Amino acid sequence: MKKFCLALVMVLSVFAFMGCDNKEDDVFTIEYYYIMSGTFVPTDLAKVQDEINEILIEKIDAKVNLHPISAWSYDERLNIIINASDYFDICYTSSWTNNYFRNVSKEAYYDITDIVAEYAPNLYQAIDPLIYDSITIDERLYGVINLQVLPRTAGYTVEKESWDAYCLETGFSADMVQDYTDIEGYLAYVLENDPDAYNILVPFDPAGIVIGLGFDNIYGMQYPGSISVTDDPSDGITVVNQFATDDYRDLFRTAVEWYEKGYINEDVLTEAADYTLAYSWMMSTWKPGAEAEEFKRSGNREMLCIPFSDSVMYNNWTGSNINAISTNSKNPEKCLEFLDLLYTDKELYNMLVFGLEGDHYTKDATRENYITAVENTNYSFADVGWQFSNQFNSYLTEYQDENVWEDTKTINENAEFSPIMGFVFDYSEVELELANCYTVYNEYINSLLYGIFGTGFE
């Protein structure tokens, strides 16, 4: 009998040990799709993911599989995944890529209305309810908005050394840039001094130029239907086809002129933009501390970011930075817990964005909250850190002012609101027409913004 009891204890001990050993395999794994600015997945992604999962298992009894996708192909890839009903749990969605409203109409996203306040209370309460109105459809909510700079401000990024030389020679200055055409003198200066430059100007950013022209899109930037943010609601608001306005015609003419002058790479349609060899580009939005993000994008060069419009809460763009949960997710509550933890946990946020201390960055011994990237590090999502719940968690890097997050909060609190803030377009009667518009936009917009059509577009 004693032998039997001893054997039973040993068997139970083995099972207990096996159970402990396999605990990690039993937790829910979140499949998370998001944007990266480059085209190559960091080789250390799995290593960082393992460290992230140690935190997640301890704090919310979950794991995550990270799926970064290049911004250049993100819209197409997610469209394929969603149309094929392939499994995912969370994806980045917006008005400018992987369109939030389009996917809600496809019933691709989980209705979180009744669970978001319980499972992601900190993230949900961080955003003004009026801003959430802009992505609420028939009183239902299908995504959570990330906390970052919320207004949009038109801006350019320029290579600082050449810009400073241009300004010294001509007497020009950054505060004289009031319009998207006002950097032409600088482009000409660069061409004269570096005639073999690979890319003087990355062509107009399709998202940034919407802000540069002051349009607030009714449905999305790929679709006709916009209002001017300078419209006075007391006089009525006029909805126009923005692509048929003089503003867009002048933009397309400018693109043709700049392409023909050699400011835009002649192979722009067949070669992906290489920001490490470019002198300037239009930003999707200017914001405090943007130089740090552009430093990485430019191949570790010192850049200057120049705003040229007022900061405005665009109805269409306050919904430009959303994480949504798939209708097919097996545990939407756990997905919300993960997003909320990213909002509250600075260690987790910075691990996802910057990687591992020692391997990918070192902390500055003299400046609190500052880090320096390890030379030749192969891991960083610093330039897309705005999509991970709460960018105010972020460490500071070399070119960021110590007050960057306070300055960002000030802009968020003081920006003017678009006249249509909170309006949600009912697209139910024109879904086919919108789909056709989307196809046409994607077929022609790059050629028009690159200037390669010549004046034939008119």
144 and 269, same domain (yes or no):
no
pLDDT digits (tens, 9 = 90+) for 159-200: 999 999 999 999 999 999 999 999 999 999 999 999 999 889
Kindly state whether residue 6 falls inside one of the protein's structural domains. no
145 and 265, same domain (yes or no):
no
Q: How confident is the model at residue 219 (pLDDT cuts 50, 70, 90)?
A: confident
Helical axes 332-344 vs 45-60, angle rounded to 10°: 100
Kindly state whether residue 16 falls inside one of the protein's structural domains. no
Kindly state whether residue 348 falls inside one of the protein's structural domains. yes
Kindly state whether residue 419 falls inside one of the protein's structural domains. no
CATH of the domain at 351: 3.40.190.10
Kindly state whether residue 11 falls inside one of the protein's structural domains. no
CA dist 109 → 47, 195, 297, 311, 390 (Å)? 30, 49, 31, 30, 21
pLDDT of residue 395: 96
Kindly give, in sequence order, each residue whose CB lies less than 8 Å from that of residue 237, ignoring residues fewer than 6 positions away.
227, 231, 419, 420
Strands 226-228, 361-363: pairing kind:
unpaired
159 and 145, same domain (yes or no):
no
Tell me, yes or no, if the pTM score tops 0.95: no
393 and 344, same domain (yes or no):
yes
Kindly state whether residue 139 falls inside one of the protein's structural domains. yes
225 and 254, same domain (yes or no):
yes
173 and 295, same domain (yes or no):
yes
160 and 305, same domain (yes or no):
yes
Kindly state whether residue 416 falls inside one of the protein's structural domains. no
146 and 160, same domain (yes or no):
no
219 and 72, same domain (yes or no):
no
pLDDT of residue 72: 87
Kindly state whether residue 80 falls inside one of the protein's structural domains. yes
pLDDT of residue 9: 43
Q: How confident is the model at residue 23 (pLDDT cuts 50, 70, 90)?
A: low
pLDDT digits (tens, 9 = 90+) for 102-147: 999 999 999 999 999 999 999 999 999 999 999 999 999 999 999 9
Sign of torsion, CA 104 108 113 117? negative
CATH of the domain at 261: 3.40.190
225 and 346, same domain (yes or no):
no
Q: What mean pLDDT do residues 404-420 have? A: 94
332 and 263, same domain (yes or no):
no
Query: What is the extent of the structural domain holding 223?
Result: 155-310+428-457
284 and 334, same domain (yes or no):
no
Query: Is the confidence at residue 211, as pLDDT, over 90?
Result: yes
Domains identified in the chain, total number:
2
